[in-house]
Amino acid sequence: MTFAAQISLIFTRRLWRLSSVPTVSFHFTKTSMMGVTQEDFEKAKSKLSSLKKDPGNDVKLKIYALFKQATHGPCDTPKPGMLDFINKAKWDSWKSLGSITQESARQEYCDLIGSLVAAEGGSAAQAPAQSATNGRTYDSLLVSTQDDITTITLNRPAKKNAITTQMYEEIIEALQQAAQDSSVVTVFTGAGDFYCSGNDLSNFTKIPEGGLEQMAKAGGELLRKYVRAFIDFPKPLVAVVNGPAVGISVTVMGMFDLVYATESATFHTPFSQLGQSPEGCSSYTFPRIMGNSKANEMLLFNKKLTAFQACQLGLVTEVFPDSSFHTEVWSRLKNYAKLPPNSLALSKQLIRSMEKERLHAVNDAEVERLTERWTSEECFNAVMSFFQAKSKL
């Protein structure tokens, strides 16, 4: 075994010990913005030790950092030396949280562990806003209704909430459910510190017996159905972008009514890099929102936008500090949900009616182009190059 491999193995083993966080004495306020109590926090700690699957080093470092921020506050210890790999990784993760409040850190800690437990089929009861509605549970989503707000949380934090084929089907179903329930506003967000890393590229490696053409055709129809669910959604739809967003999670934002982002969020649509073309009606909505030249930078030339840049261009409604993101956003959403529901829904439908036919036509055209792209040698080579580069990291 090489020295690098030995270091990697030791790093992984020692990081997993972070799951057994030592008991620390401290005082909690009774509730936070989302209702996290000392009991919720203690339950989350105990749930962590019950995880059967290794969530990966990135997630374990995030758990460690949130725990330290929640119990101690912002990082104020000296930076470890460069050769102290383990402690430097832990310090960097803690330091990256900046000045977010202990209350926000406790909330994120409970949400992250709740999503990991739920992903393994367990209960995430310690996070009040993460319970399923109407008795329906999902494998890759957490769906809840509280305070007249239905929240759809992408729940694959260890995979940066990358969207699988099954996940597409579940999101479509969750949107249909939210359209019919009694909630006033529907919210999309991500579990952990990523909003969504776009398509799970393993979708492109599962070629059926019918070959690449069959896979492309089935994928195109699923995409068409998925984007239709956003075009036709009848209620106010809000994206709460809690971290980096990539690919289709970005392109459909042009059909959301509000997009709120934390300051550390980024927005990236690397289509040409993967030999593909725009989807989610972005070939129409992005030029309309930000102008042709800026849209071309994103859709043709893979430019990644910061949250502030995306806000300046009109893709994002407002950017909030990381430290107060959850508090400010959910306070606003709860106020919005108190507005007359029929007035909100009918007004949105009136606004959308002016371009609904155009959006469906754009969706059809984009799906047709993408189906052709997926069967091209150029796309295949680009995706394979991506996997090869990833395997070398």
* CA-only gyration radius of the chain, Å: 21
Note the pLDDT of residue 386.
78
Q: Tell me which of 378 and 15 has the higher pLDDT.
A: 378
- Quick check: pTM over 0.85? no
Its domain, for residue 254, covers 131-391
**Vertex 170: Cα angle to 160 and 263 (nearest 5):** 35
**Vertex 96: Cα angle to 92 and 99 (nearest 5):** 130
Q: How far apart are CA 83 and CA 99, in angstroms?
A: 27
Contact 60, 53 (CB under 8 A): no
Residue 333's domain is classified under what CATH number? 3.90.226.10
Instruction: Answer yes or no: do 101 and 148 share one domain.
Output: no
If one counts the domains in the chain, the total is: 2
At residue 283 the predicted structure's pLDDT band, cuts being 50, 70 and 90, is very high
Instruction: Answer yes or no: do 268 and 141 share one domain.
Output: yes
197 phi and psi, to 5 degrees? -95, 20
Q: How far is CA 23 from CA 13, 26, 68, in A?
A: 21, 10, 11
Q: How far is CA 233 from CA 173, 177, 346, 391, in A?
A: 12, 10, 12, 39
What would the two tokens of residue 56 be?
Answer: 């990966």
Q: Tell me which of 221 and 62 has the higher pLDDT.
A: 221
Q: Is 332 exposed, middle or buried (0-12, 13-18, 19+ CB in 10 A)?
A: middle
Instruction: Answer yes or no: do 169 and 262 share one domain.
Output: yes
Beta-bridge partner residues of 238: 187, 258
Question: What 8-state DSSP symbol labels residue 243?
Answer: S
Q: Is 119 among the domain residues?
A: no
Q: Is 122 among the domain residues?
A: no
Q: How many helices (H) and strands (E) does the chain have?
A: 15, 9
Of 219, 236, 224, the C-alpha closest to 184 is: 236
Instruction: Answer yes or no: do 99 and 135 share one domain.
Output: no
> Per-residue pLDDT for 259 more than 80?
yes
Instruction: Answer yes or no: do 157 and 304 share one domain.
Output: yes
Of 98, 108, 223, the C-alpha closest to 157 is: 108
Instruction: Answer yes or no: do 269 and 327 share one domain.
Output: yes
Alpha-carbon torsion, ordered 246, 248, 249, 255, to 10 deg: 140
Residue 62's domain is classified under what CATH number? 1.20.80.10
Instruction: Answer yes or no: do 308 and 244 share one domain.
Output: yes
Residue 4 CB partners (closer than 8 Å, separation 6+) = none
Instruction: Answer yes or no: do 282 and 176 share one domain.
Output: yes
User: What are the tens digits of pLDDT across the range 80-90?
Assistant: 876 676 787 78
At residue 70 the predicted structure's pLDDT band, cuts being 50, 70 and 90, is confident
Q: Is 50 among the domain residues?
A: yes
> What single string gives the DSSP state of each residue in 37-85?
-HHHHHHHHHHHTT--S---HHHHHHHHHHHHHHHT-S--SPPPPTT-H
> Per-residue pLDDT for 20 more than 60?
no
Instruction: Answer yes or no: do 262 and 359 share one domain.
Output: yes
Note the pLDDT of residue 330.
96
Secondary structure class of 156 (helix, strand, coil): coil
Flag the least confident range among 30-44, 275-289, 374-388.
30-44
Q: Is 69 among the domain residues?
A: yes
Instruction: Answer yes or no: do 300 and 344 share one domain.
Output: yes
Instruction: Answer yes or no: do 67 and 141 share one domain.
Output: no
Q: Is 323 among the domain residues?
A: yes
User: What are the tens digits of pLDDT across the range 203-224?
Assistant: 666 666 778 888 899 999 999 9
Q: Tell me which of 21 and 316 has the higher pLDDT.
A: 316
